[in-house]
Structure 1
């Protein structure tokens, strides 16, 4: 127990505070897609038309991915790899959520073959809790940060949908505005045969190699030489790309020694995963390098970056199919990747698209940057607020640091 914890906080054994209820089995074949989120030990696994628990509530991973804690404000369905915790007048549920996240539950594995979190071991944990009024004040600060992060994510999702909808309208449906401002195809614009089907007159079928000034396959420096790592050069791996328009922060960073000079990827380059999980597409948020599982398109014309981004996103299924060669690990090599064909409009069309959506992408980028700062602030405050090292006056005007 930390010595700086305040004396007016009560030490409580978790088993005396709440009940961890077992989730209930819900196989895929028995699920009916609906409005209620289904939670497993690693998070949301789908939806169902019925709920098991009236929200809000907490979900704790108990088998497989143990110790993960989720807060759900709406009614939900926790499956049998989880525990769930209901609201109570004995604690503030949001405070309990943040408290549990600081208790290293993921390290409490009691099963050898399949990781498991024993309920009695969970109940045996002792920790200190403030009075419920202070719990609410602390939870309010942390949840305000989380809500802002979620708001930014929702805004980015909508902005991305807008930019993608316009891309589809212009470059897939061929309804870009003609010289009279009318939708090209439906207004009788001339279409011609191509190897990829009918396309507008003046458009071309090109390869990824044609639209790139260079295609860079990343490389991992020797992990035996520790001096190759720990610098300030972002080193992008596939997990860094999941769910991201821009990759700005990475789990691993290279040193100047570890970086390979001819593998530098400039901002707004298109990074595409081609091995293991092929078909994930992200923009480089800053100059970086990638590992060998990623091929990166260096844009021949920077104003084509957003067109190239969505073109590659639209080819995700093709990339996955090409990477399925029958081997255990999916693998699309650079040569195959460079020969993938896309329909490319005249430069004035990609320039016009760039000018329309550039502000959209800039806002997405700035929101992602802001979220990184908010996450860093939240993660810095979390252990200090949960331990009482920083106290929150009940008027919420200032934060006070414990001496």
Structure 2
């Protein structure tokens, strides 16, 4: 069904792949994009962990659409908000004529699950499938008049702007909690009995196997601070009845860029769940295989796959201390996981023996009491974002197909969805 002024075109008619190169020396950790720092499930991008080793990379500009071309089922896409460079495994999609196609409208067209289903279905390869560039350019899209494109994009952008605002608030809140953690537990400037910074006020320090630490503090292993360490397990994928229930099943892509993991790509049924693998809320999940060193909190009771080791907190008031302690050990975890094999792998035995400096209980209790409201706000903002994303993605195909016509206000659109 088409409407007056609407037409159906294929992507190639209105867009093309950018292939301009820039020297790798011109990119930074802030503007270099690879498949590693593109976040799954249409969540944008994070900070790069390293710079390219090649002489040049592909240039992208503000307003371009970046699409990861490896394992397209991860749904990695980003509307560029700055200029920079990206790896060859990232496609740069540009529109041909801004008088015919609005950049943001094109982005939202490609944000639909139908597009990723198409790219996945037409991809090449099995173990590491790649999108077929020619097939992608043959993807059909609906093209309304330019003013209607802009109106549609404006409505959908309102959701993304609120989501981004929440993300920025959460980043600042996390920075605050982490700064206090560093001040107290890394720099040892926690308040002494007189309320003054401990170390710089002459607090007694003693020798330990991890260096000088405050008197009364101890070096412990991850095993010591855990009531249990759980290595997850994937139930048989041949039995479909193991999946499709309401038990979140956390995999590494679900953890990227998140303090809390609340929603997952896959859910287990009661049959597929393993009774002794239940992860309680606020447990510390740590990736230990493939991309070791990612740390997130369980947003609710869940289970994980075998690539994740989870610390079940021995003391619930230690959860935030444990969280940042493990975040601070990300580099150590990655180093321990690189044992010469092609796939990085840190086994449970190695993981449980990692050592950290642990203060007396009254200090971790005090830290918990200070930052608990911060983490609660982060959690609620993440929950709100999930609702906003759900509403946006519900409206998306209806707006793009013309089932809902614009201009309409967001409240009316919400009622119609």
When normalised by structure 1's length, the TM-score is: 0.86
Once structures 1 and 2 are overlaid, which stretch shifts more, 333-342 or 203-212? Answer: 333-342
Could you say which residue in structure 2 is the equivalent of 1:56?
63
In the alignment, is residue 99 of structure 1 matched against residue 88 of structure 2? no
Q: Distance in 1 between matches of 2:415 and 2:370?
A: 48
Aligned residues between the structures: 394
1:135 aligns with 2:157: no
Q: CA deviation at 1:168?
A: 0.6
Q: Which residue of 2 aligns with 1:240?
A: 254
1:171 and 1:397 map into 2 onto residues whose CA distance is: 47
Distance 2:321 2:141 in 1: 53
Q: 2:277 aligns with which of 254, 257, 263?
A: 263
Q: 2:6: which partner in 1?
A: 10
Secondary structure at 1:177 match in 2? coil
Hey, what does 2:381 align to over in structure 1?
367
2:295 counterpart residue number? 281
Give the drift of 1:332.
Answer: 2.2
- How far is 1:356 from its partner? 0.7
Contact 2:6-2:142 within 8 A present in 1 as well: yes
Taking the aligned partners of 2:343 and 2:284, their CA distance within structure 1 comes to 23
Question: TM-score, length-normalised on structure 2?
Answer: 0.83
String of CA shifts for 1:258-315, please: whole Å, max 9, x gaps: 2121211110011112222222211111011112222211111111000011111111
- Equivalent position of 1:37 in the other structure: 31
SS at match of 1:56: coil
**Secondary structure of the corresponding residue to residue 399 of structure 1:** helix
By how many angstroms is 1:123 displaced?
6.1
Deviation track 1:130-165 (CA, whole Å, cap 9, x = no partner) reads 222222221111111111111111111111111111
- Are residues 7 and 260 of structure 1, via their aligned partners in 2, closer, same or farther at CA, if it must alter by over 3 Å? same
Per-residue CA deviation, residues 211-237 of structure 1 (Å, 9 max, x unaligned), is: 111122222222222222211111112
Unaligned runs of 5+ in 1: none
Query: Do structure 1's residue 144 and structure 2's residue 158 form an aligned pair?
Result: yes
Cα separation, 2, equivalents of 1:310 and 1:289: 21
For 1:82, the equivalent position in structure 2 comes to 91
- Name 1:174's counterpart in structure 2: 188
**After the TM superposition, which residues 89-238 of structure 1 pair with which residues of structure 2 at under 5 Å, given as runs?**
89-102=99-112, 104=115, 106-107=119-120, 109=122, 115=130, 117-118=132-133, 127-238=141-252
Instruction: Kindly provide the CA deviation profile for residues 19-77 of structure 1, in whole angstroms up to 9, marking residues without a partner as x.
Output: 525321345xx3224598355688567899x996664344466x657796542244455
The aligned residue for residue 20 of structure 2 is 24
1:380-401 Cα shifts (integer Å, max 9, x gaps) = 1111100001112367773399
Change over 3 Å in CA distance of 1:117–1:281 after alignment to 2: same
- CA separation of 1:52 and 1:252: change in aligned 2, threshold 3 A: closer
Q: Within 5 Å, give how 1:304-343 maps onto structure 2.
A: 304-343=318-357
2:80 corresponds to 1:72: yes
8 Å contact kept, 2:27–2:85: no
Query: Can you give the 5+ residue segments of structure 2 that lack an aligned partner in the other structure?
Result: 39-44
**TM superposition shift of 1:89:** 2.3
8 A contact 2:203–2:214 mirrored in 1: yes
Counterpart Cα distance in 1 of 2:384 and 2:353: 38
For 2:247 and 2:21, locate their aligned partners in 1 and report how far apart those are by CA, in whole Å. Answer: 45
